[in-house]
Homo-oligomer: A and B are copies of this chain.
């Protein structure tokens, strides 16, 4: 701080009220006077109808030019705090009474902060590549044309769409070009957009997998779609059912790694669902949320590569980088592009051009591949530790979905899921049970074509930061039920 002498506060009596002028704020003495008078009226210290001293008299008291005070009065009249009438001087304006139920201190919603978190949905955000991201941001912002800071079009930045077209072809076998990619603020926004487009096409119902994320289901239901769940087995969704459900012309699937069961869709079923879509002119919404993370062999390529005109490929940076970016992308069949843009280009669905430019540079520079590779190693190591610990200390617990992704499913003895979750919560371990992800049709559920509901746990080993993983694993082992009869 500069060492200087300056008047930083002045006090005047205005209609019996002490008026403190804080001269350290911006805008000089006039601004300070405006702030002080405004605050006095606002707080009720200067009540409605009170006549203020003349500008000349207050100026003298404060040692200011008369015009300064007159300007301040004028400004507050313009803002509606004061009134000025010929002959009656400047007065505090009448104000409506404040609402009775005015301010209460709003507590920040109590976010339960468990000691350990193995709930699915988030990658290990402690590993966000801050330095590499900033370096990409610097290069991207230096190179960006001025127009990148303007409104832009509904498709998203062309730099990012070009980078994604190349990356998705290379890494996920997606067939596309930049003109068929629409960037959106995360998968959820993409799903909401697609739901509306389906409704505009007159499609009233969509198939989903029996187990999935309830907020995905809600997004489709908010768009006005009726949902029809497909049963799941060890080969993924039983897509043959689509042939019997003649009201369906769209289906949401997670073919590379079904969420939450973790199985990939069987090759025969991949072919079958594409045949179905081709026959009924239907659409497959492919949720490829964690397609990059496959540990024991090459990633399973995207279904979209088989039938680009029947599949909408939905990708996201939420698992590969961070949910906080709110960046996802749709790869659309040619015939759907204009309809999606008609919904998206209304101005409500935008997202940051700066992050889009940065992600494009992050991908093009190879930093994205490096980050995915390093995270794949990290997650695989955790998965191996988890599987080994379970084999050693809870061999009676079945584990599925271990080949890919950021979570596995533990099968539990029937009727034990809620007890295990309660024990976990008691121990400071946040987890979700399989039943939470089962789509329920309410009244009809009892008649669910005899599908069995399974007891199980989702163990999202990708969620905690590295340092917390061993503790989380120990906590998990403590709360698992013993062998039958044990």
Chain A residues with a Cβ under 8 A of chain B: 25-27, 30-31, 34, 38, 42, 71, 74-75, 77-81, 83, 93-99, 101-104, 106, 108-109, 121-122, 125-126, 128, 130, 133-134, 137-138, 141-142, 146-153, 170, 173, 175, 179-180, 185-186, 188-189, 191-192, 215, 218-219, 222, 264, 267-268, 270-271, 274-275, 277-279, 297-298, 300-301, 303, 305-307, 309-310, 322-327, 333-335, 337, 346-355, 369, 465
**Of B96, B121, B150, B349, which contacts A322 at CB under 8 A?**
B150
The answer to whether A179 and B26 have CB atoms under 8 Å apart is no
CA distance A101 to B77 in the complex (A): 65
Structural contact, A298 and B351, CB atoms closer than 8 A:
no
List, in ascending order, chain B residues with CB within 8 A of A128's CB.
Answer: 146, 149
A352 touches B334 (CB 8 A): no
A297–B348 touching, CB < 8 Å: no
Chain B residues near A310: list those with CB within 8 A.
96
Integer count of this chain's copies in the complex? 2
Tell me if A150 and B96 are in contact (CB < 8 A). Answer: no
How many angstroms from the CA of A307 to the CA of B355 in the assembled complex? 37
A79 neighbours in B (Cβ, 8 Å): 173, 267, 270, 300-301, 305-306
Partner of A42, one of B95, B130, B151, B175: B175
* A99 neighbours in B (Cβ, 8 Å): 309, 333, 335
Structural contact, B147 and A125, CB atoms closer than 8 A: yes
Known: A94-B271, A134-B137, A270-B79. A352 touches B326 (CB 8 A): yes
Q: A99-B309, A125-B146, A134-B141 are in contact. List 13 more A-B contacts (CB 8 A).
A: A42-B175, A74-B297, A77-B267, A78-B267, A79-B300, A125-B149, A137-B137, A149-B324, A150-B322, A152-B323, A192-B348, A219-B346, A322-B353
